Amino acid sequence: MKPALLASLSLLALSAAQAQPTWIEAESFANPGGWVLDTQFIDVMGSPYLMAHGMGKPVKDAETEVELPAGEYTMWARTKNWVGPWDAKGSPGRFEISVNGEKLKQEFGATGKNWQWEKSGPVKVKAGKAKIALHDLTGFDGRVDAIVLSNDASFKPSNDFAETGKLRRQLLGLPEKAPETEEYDLVVIGGGYSGMGAAISGARQSLKVAFIQNRPVLGGNGSSEIQVWAMGGTRRGLYPHLGEIVEEFADRASNSPAADPQEFNDKLKEDTVKAEKSIGLFLNTHVYGVEMDKDGKNIRSVIGLDTKSGKETRFVGKLFVDCTGHGSVGALAGAEFMMEEKGRMGMSNMWVMKNLEKPVSWPKTPWSLQMTLEDFPEPRPLAPVGKKNAANMSGYDLGYTPVPNPEEYVHGEWFWESGFDKHPINDLELIRDHNFRAVYGAVSALKTLKADKYADWDLTWLAYIGGPRESRRIVGDMILNGEDMVKGIIHPDGCVPTTWDQDLHYPKEQYAKNFPDNPFISRAEFGKHTDRKNGYPVPYRCFYSKDIGNLFMAGRTISVERHALGSTRVMRTCGMMGEVVGKAAWICVRHHTTPRGVYEQYLDILKDLMSKPGAMRRDTLEADLYMPANAKKLPDLAAAAEAEGGIDPKKLEGLVIDDTEAELTGKWAHGEGLKPYIGKHYSYGSDKGASARFAFSVKESGSYDVRIFFQPHENRGKSVSVTVLSADGEKALQVNQTKAPTLPQGAYSLGTFKFTAGEEAAVIFRTANAGGNVHLDAVQVLPAK
């Protein structure tokens, strides 16, 4: 053989021996087993990843196969010791990797503080398909982003964020410029209530819609993954048809969180979207980039990453809606936004425990927050079905079978919240992981320090997807402030009714003492009240960017100062914003204008569209609206208004004295947030000298059951003084109003008392030494049975 030919063959052999490394995305494993896909932190750490979220029980292996030439390989896995940033004891996220059934000696996820490449090997494989498996060791949230196999011993991937991204693109063979779609009329980014409202509303106006969501389910905070109730009143105010689309897919859950996550009805949400033929639904797609037009003032496309395959797509559109919650699209496009440096509302990860009626072991968690029982509120039992969410459930098909024994469950609710002074985007993974440490620490405390009660209880659900409340808000042509809402200043483009009070969250001082760096239990501070019956109409000018010509916003990204955000951020309200944006987008396309142009030139057309039923649609851009024969029927407005909370006292048995008829002394406030309630509202107060006298007289002498109505809350008094004046004199009682009444509609029996016909009797509440707010709703007097 000639020397030159021999040299060429030697080079080819060397090249084959040192082939390009093989990149395996963890999220693309053919069988994820019990590992879950986490996409929340792509903008922070560069990628989706798999996580072993077993809540203390190792999950099933994730497995995949990869074609490899025979040889000896070094394996690198990009992973993280998630408690490393706190120098916590131990490593809860440990896992192993096996190749063709042989486990590597290395335990991954046990060292370091940040995402890093960990090395193991050598690994010898035969030519053909190699089976790779991730073997969880703890059940406590081990995580892996990617695996690289290289037969070049000198190869070492960089831990740098940008370099990792370059390597990923190179080894996956991704093109420098992602392929693009045909042009959509409307591209909606974010699959929560606001995104759903915008996509469905736009489609019913005949727009071609791309609907992009980075999770496998729709609903955002109102999905089975997070389980936040959808709050906010719909179908009222200036445009009572707004909210009809929202009510087609809104949850009717009995609790938040519920015993069964499916009460949040992900299927209903997806089916409602898929029923619209002009919507292209792109689940598991994360938008991480924006391309601008040549003028730099309009978005041409957004770049979406398929969170399972790693492939990218450019979604081209005429108009875009940022429903991401974090204002990500607006920020990428260069829009001005607002965001407080500190003191923001945080992110919640709620949880549920169940009584299994047999002893359940719980592993030691030295890496969790080490707590006593005084460091957190004991989890509360689930409310009986319909007790707390009766307004939202009334008249609707629930879409689920209620859990028969809710008393077998307790839950950690919305106030398990942290990150108040952390960066709401850059620190997001740390905020979620801090919540993990808090919940696992609380369960450990309950299982060890209160074993007499919790020996048989187990953690059955913990949200690994967080529910954030406050980050970027994109600046529009108007910034709505909270004082306008309080004063009732109605702007000419006012539309979406916001009915929630100005509710901001802060660390609860009682539980923050031992964890001042990042408290994890919050309290709600309600500011000025909003008109709950009619709602305050949020202006349309808050729903589009002042800088980017074709960018709408809906949801908590809209243009409001933070006190107004405290009211507008709840989900049903956000969904109605989407409804308005979908209608405005049709005006933009039909009349060749911009979101700002709708306000300046076509506001009357928008008002007309907002006055139409949500089920109406048109078949082409130029066609008239019509009501389809198969439109979903909703409960009528009168029934819905009654379900909103106010139970007519006249519809109750016996003698009913509402709080509006009580003789009040001292300082009392009125509320409508806790449902159901009797009459127009309930009253509450904690002023030490306050009292309330519910006077009455019976028509016939005899024995009567005396009941009071209230709804429980953690800020209620545990020892509320209630005195009954009867024919037998005075009887003083104490009522714990933090616990749910056992009778329907929030009724609680004080006992049986004798009353004489025609003589004045009374039930008197006093706030002194109550230990919290005293709740007054109504008193009911019934003949004793």
Tens-place pLDDT, residues 612-663:
999 999 999 999 999 999 998 888 765 555 555 578 888 889 999 999 899 9
Between 681 and 130, whose confidence is greater? 130
Residues 6+ apart with CB under 8 A from 358: 456
Any idea which residue has 């969170």 for tokens? 307
Cα–Cα distance, 784 to 702 (Å, whole number): 8
Q: Which residues pair with 95 in a beta bridge?
A: 108, 136
Distance CA 196, CA 283 (A): 13
By percentage, how much of the chain surpasses pLDDT 70? 95
Write down the pLDDT at residue 631. Answer: 93
Over 70: is that where the pLDDT of 389 sits?
A: no
The answer to which of 48-62, 683-697, 719-733 has the lowest mean pLDDT is 683-697
The pLDDT assigned to 377 comes to 96
676 prior amide bond cis, ω within 30: yes
140: three-class secondary structure by DSSP: strand
Asked whether the predicted pLDDT for residue 565 surpasses 90, the reply is yes
Cα(271)–Cα(283) distance, integer angstroms: 13
**Cα distance between residue 579 and residue 573, in whole Å:** 10
Which residues touch 664 (CB under 8 Å, ≥6 apart)? 683, 690, 691, 692
pLDDT at 127: 85
Rounded distance, CA 231 to CA 463, Å? 19
What is the structure's pLDDT at 636? 74
Averaged pLDDT, 490-513: 95
Phi, psi of 724 (to 5 degrees): -110, 125
**Whole-angstrom Cα distance, residue 99 to residue 92?**
23
Residue 393: predicted pLDDT: 54
pLDDT class for 6, splitting at 50, 70, 90?
very low
H helices of 374-532, in order, are 390-393, 428-449, 451-454, 482-487, 509-512
Mean pLDDT of 325-336: 98
User: How many Cα atoms are found within 13 Å in the side-chain-facing hemisphere of 727?
Assistant: 15
Dihedral angle computed from the Cα positions of residues 730, 736, 739 and 740, in that order, rounded to the nearest 10 degrees: 20
Residue type, 116: Q
The string of pLDDT tens digits covering residues 191-202 is: 999 999 999 999
Residue 634, pLDDT score: 86
What is the rounded (10 degree) CA torsion for 684, 688, 690, 692? Answer: 70
Yes or no: say if 261 and 224 are a contact pair by the CB < 8 Å rule.
Answer: yes
**Where are the strands (E) in 714-771, listed by range?**
720-726, 729-735, 747-755, 761-766
Q: What is the mean pLDDT of the chain?
A: 92
CB-CB contact of 167 with 49 (8 Å): no
- What tokens does 622 get? 């130029």
Q: Which two tokens stand for residue 370?
A: 């080490």
On whether the CB atoms of residues 391 and 643 are closer than 8 A, the answer is yes
For residue 738, which amino acid is it? T
Token pair listed for 114: 């940040």
| Contacts (Cβ under 8 Å, ≥6 apart) of 661 | 694
pLDDT digits 0-9 by tens, 100-128: 999 998 999 999 999 999 999 899 998 88
Cα–Cα distance measured from residue 93 to residue 648, given in angstroms and rounded to the nearest whole number? 55
Distance CA 327, CA 572 (A): 19
Distances (CA, A) of 145 to 108, 127, 283, 284, 291: 12, 25, 20, 16, 27
Cα 649 from Cα 434, distance rounded (Å): 47
| 416-464 pLDDT, tens digit each | 999 999 999 999 999 999 999 999 999 999 999 999 999 999 999 999 9
Q: Which residues pair with 539 in a beta bridge?
A: 494
Cβ-count burial 315-335 (b if 16+ within 10 Å, e if not): bbbbbbbbbbbbbbbbbbbeb
Spatial distance between the Cα atoms of 647 and 744, rounded to a whole number of angstroms: 12
Query: Residue with structure tokens 């729903």?
Result: 543
For residue 695, the model assigns a pLDDT of 93
Q: Does the pLDDT of residue 311 top 80, yes or no?
A: yes
What pLDDT shows up at residue 387? 46
State the greatest distance between any 2 C-alpha atoms of the chain, in Å, as a whole number.
124
Residue 392 has a pLDDT of 55
Find residue 774's DSSP bridge partners.
685
Return the SS3 of 196: helix
User: Which pLDDT score is estimated for 742?
Assistant: 81
Ranges of H-type helices in 591-621: 595-601, 603-610
Of 364, 211, 378, nearest in space to 279 by CA: 211
Is the CB of residue 736 less than 8 Å from the CB of residue 655?
no
d(CA 545, CA 551): 6
Residues present in the chain in total: 785
Q: What is the DSSP string of 21-81?
A: PEEEEGGG-SB-TT-EEE-TTHHHHSS-EEEEE-TTSPPPPEEEEEEE-SEEEEEEEEE--
